Structure 1
Amino acid sequence: MSKHDHEGQQPKSQVLLVDDDPELLSFLYEEFTSDKVTCTCSKTGSKALTLLRQQRFDLVVLDWNLPDFDGLEICQRLRSSGNTTPVLMLTAHDDLDARVQALDYGADDYISKPFELRELHARVRARLRRGTFAAAEKQKEQLELGDLRINLLKRAVHRGEHKLSLTQREFDLLCYLIGHHGEVLHRKNILEGVWGAPFVGDPNTLDVYMGYLRRKVEKPDHPQLLHTIRGIGFMARLEKTSA
């Protein structure tokens, strides 16, 4: 039986565990349920999608192979419905093409089976810390730089009169850059601030997502906002245009 949170106490993180292996599901439930985390379990993709429609979760730990839908289809359905809940994919596939496919379909992270429990714990903690950072950022409600406006509560981005369609990762990266506008940001700090610390993965991921962002954010006849600081990282600042 869950206890009511004490007044002023940080609410528990809500994690949805999705796997058709009952032993693994039970093991993960025991591992991650704590005084700071509440876990909910699902053995099928259909039940997971229903739960995600009914309540808010801070993270989904999702098996790639399920009896009804595979993890890729679940990610695709989530993102197409506008649900931005972070997804950590558990997969037996360890080749580069599979990892890229998972990210393209909307997963935020992945870990290959069999996995080291310490690494899984680290990745879950990193995602939940990132969620805590995002919640604190939302209290500001809006970020602005030039004619770029980010509504943190609605997760909506506008450049001038144009609404931009960003993935969750692109949105988080843009918020981090704009939230620190005017500062030279080192690559390592960006990766850990957006993807979670410690960052585990290919550092070139940052360059890929900066490319995605630039194609969506930068507009002809508008001042440049996103700048590369060679040998260091990136910086968001309003480029002054000549009179």
Structure 2
Amino acid sequence: MKKKILVVDDEPSISMLIDFNLKLVGFDVQCVFDGEAVFDSIRQFRPDLIVLDLMLPKMDGIQVCRKLRSQNNMVPIIMLTALQDLSDKIAGLDNGADDYMTKPFSPQELTSRIQAILRRTGALPTADEAQAMEIGPIRIKPDQREVYLNESLIDLTPKEFELLLFLCKHRGKVLSRQQLLHGVWDYHFLGDTRIVDVHISHLRDKIEKNARTPEFIVTIRNVGYKLMEPAMKESYA
């Protein structure tokens, strides 16, 4: 069955370019041109991934992201922005986008990023990979893509889940930001490592008692991050 991609951009030339290139590699594509149209399209088209422009009429990309995540809709989102300001890119990630690209962009690179995200979210874990993992009060169920904190299910975006799972598989090891980009985002080039920092920050907000003094995901200065298992299991209630 073809994977479905929803393209949200009010520039017809951009939408047509993305539509053409995605259909060329076998995706089913639907295009809408304002933020409000996203929600009807989600109900009817049921996309596997959304390519979402930041600047949209009626409801901008940040508002769309925020509303989707508030509804616990964790469909993967790649944000498109024509703005060079870092704060706009970070705002997209802060509100639930999994990745971003700055216009003008290569349609082939966008296609590759979409394929990488869908490959990861759709891949069935092996028998070994499907085994539940525990780090203190955190329990990860890879086969169900679920994470529990003290037996309570916590909502993670697709990338937050994959990042935590990757850290867990390499617990105790120092991982550079570039290694995380390669292992989680499937980037085979020098990507923007700020994407990693924002997602780490979101994970800490959801799994740490105090994100400012993390017990699990610790920063290794000038290198990257390491997942630590607390020596004693404590109640995080």
TM-score between both structures, scaled by the size of structure 1: 0.75
Given that 1:63 and 1:89 are in contact with CA atoms closer than 8 Å, whether structure 2 keeps it comes out as yes
Question: 1:127 and 2:127 equivalent?
Answer: no
Look up the match of 1:66.
Answer: 56
Residue in structure 2 matched with residue 172 of structure 1 by the alignment: 162
CA distance in structure 1 between the partners assigned to 2:25 and 2:111 by the alignment: 15
> In structure 1, which of residues 223, 240, 243 is the aligned counterpart of residue 231 of structure 2?
240
Q: What is the distance in 2 between the residues matched to 1:32 and 1:138?
A: 26
Q: Deviations over 1:90-139 (max 9, x none)?
A: 222221222222222222222333x132xx42143123213212322556
**Superposition deviation, residue 153 in structure 1:** 5.5
Alpha-carbon deviation of 1:57? 2.5
Question: Could you say what the CA RMSD is over the residues aligned between the two structures, in angstroms?
Answer: 3.1
Determine the structure 2 residue equivalent to 1:6: none
Q: Show CA shifts across 1:49-93 (max 9, x none).
A: 212223443321122233322222211121111111222222222
> Which residue, 91, 101, 113 being the options, matches 2:81?
91
| Structure 2 gap segments, 5+ residues each | none
Tell me, yes or no, if structure 1 residue 12 matches structure 2 residue 30.
no
- Deviation larger for 125-134 or 139-148: 139-148
Asked if residue 116 in structure 1 is aligned to residue 108 in structure 2, the reply is: no
Using the TM superposition, name which of 228-237 and 183-192 deviates more: 228-237
Give % identity: 34
- Is the CA contact (8 Å cut-off) linking 2:124 and 2:143 kept in structure 1? no
Matches within 5 A, 1:36-75: 36-75=26-65
Aligned residues: 227
CA contact (8 A) 1:92 1:112 kept: yes
CA distance in structure 1 between the partners assigned to 2:90 and 2:183 by the alignment: 21
Counterpart CA distance in 1 for 2:68 and 2:92 is: 13
Matches within 5 A, 1:135-150: 135-137=122-124, 143-146=132-135, 147-150=137-140
2:24 aligned counterpart, secondary structure: coil
User: Are the equivalent residues in 2 in contact too, given 1:170–1:209 (CA < 8 A)?
Assistant: yes
Q: Which amino acid aligns with 2:148?
A: H
Supply the distance in 2 between the matched residues of 1:22 and 1:71 (Cα, whole angstroms): 17
Deviation for aligned residue 1:183: 5.0
Task: Name the CA shift for 1:193/1:14 in 2 (closer, same or farther; >3 Å).
Answer: farther
Q: Secondary structure at the match of 1:33?
A: helix
Do the aligned partners of residues 59 and 148 (structure 1) sit closer, same or farther apart at CA in structure 2, a change above 3 Å counting?
same
- CA deviations 1:22-60 (Å, max 9, x no partner) are 333222211221243222222233332212223443321
Alignment check: 8 A CA contact 2:132 2:139 kept: yes
5+ unaligned residues in a row in structure 1: which ranges?
1-10
Larger Rg: 1
Distance 2:218 2:85 in 1: 33
Measure, in 2, the Cα distance between the counterparts of 1:22 and 1:228: 43
CA distance in 2, matches of 1:35, 1:112: 22
